[in-house]
C-alpha cells in the first residue's frame, strides 16, 4: 500500500476522456469521480456498505458471520498464492489486504472497494497496525 503513489496518481479513459484522480487516501475510479452533483437511485445492498457505521462494525462482528457460515478465514486464504502484485478486490476494511501487506510475500498490495468509508476504515487500520505502506 503505497500512499505517496496514490497521492500522485491519476488515470484518463482513452474512450470517454474521463479523468480519475486521487481523493483523500484512495483513488476514486467510480463514474461519479470529479462530479459535484450526480443523481442515481442506488440499491440498498450497495449503499449499506457505504455507511460509516457498517465500515466501523465490519471487523467488529460482521466478518465473524463468514466464519460461522464455513468460509475460510484470512489465514487459509493467505496460503493460496505468493509473490508478485496482489489485488484485493472488494477489500472492505482491509482485513486481508493488511495481512497480505504485512507478510512481505508480495511486491505490491492494492486494496480496492466501492465504499469510500470502507477504504477510509482500511487506511485507519493500516495506521493503527503500522502496516507497511511501501508494498
For residue 53, give the CATH number of its domain: 3.40.50.150
Evaluate whether residue 99 is within a structural domain: yes
Number of domains in the chain: 1
> What pTM does this model have?
0.55
**pLDDT at residue 30 in the model:** 74
Query: How many CA within 13 A on the CB side of residue 78?
Result: 15
Mean of the pLDDT values across residues 109-119?
A: 91
* pLDDT tier for residue 80 given thresholds of 50, 70 and 90: low
Alpha-carbon span 7 to 106, nearest angstrom: 21
**pLDDT at residue 67 in the model:** 81
Model confidence over 33-61: pLDDT tens digits? Answer: 766 665 666 677 777 878 888 888 888 88
Q: Which three cell numbers stand for residue 73?
A: 478465514
Evaluate whether residue 119 is within a structural domain: yes
* pLDDT tier for residue 4 given thresholds of 50, 70 and 90: low
Evaluate whether residue 135 is within a structural domain: no
Alpha-carbon span 51 to 121, nearest angstrom: 11
Evaluate whether residue 67 is within a structural domain: yes
Alpha-carbon span 9 to 106, nearest angstrom: 21
Alpha-carbon span 81 to 79, nearest angstrom: 6
Evaluate whether residue 12 is within a structural domain: no
Amino acid at each position: 500500500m503505497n500512499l505517496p503513489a496514490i497521492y500522485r496518481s491519476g488515470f484518463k479513459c482513452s474512450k470517454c476522456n474521463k479523468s480519475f484522480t486521487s481523493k483523500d487516501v484512495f483513488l476514486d475510479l467510480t463514474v461519479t469521480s470529479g462530479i459535484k452533483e450526480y443523481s442515481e437511485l442506488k440499491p440498498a445492498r450497495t449503499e449499506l456498505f457505504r455507511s460509516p457505521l457498517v465500515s466501523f462494525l465490519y471487523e467488529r462482528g460482521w466478518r465473524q458471520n463468514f466464519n460461522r457460515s464455513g468460509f475460510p478465514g484470512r489465514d487459509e486464504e493467505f496460503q493460496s498464492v505468493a509473490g508478485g502484485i496482489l489485488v484485493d478486490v472488494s477489500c472492505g476494511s482491509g482485513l486481508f489486504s493488511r495481512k497480505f501487506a504485512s507478510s512481505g510475500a508480495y511486491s505490491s498490495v492494492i486494496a480496492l472497494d466501492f465504499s469510500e468509508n470502507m477504504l477510509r476504515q482500511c487506511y485507519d487500520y493500516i495506521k493503527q497496525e503500522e502496516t507497511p505502506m511501501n508494498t
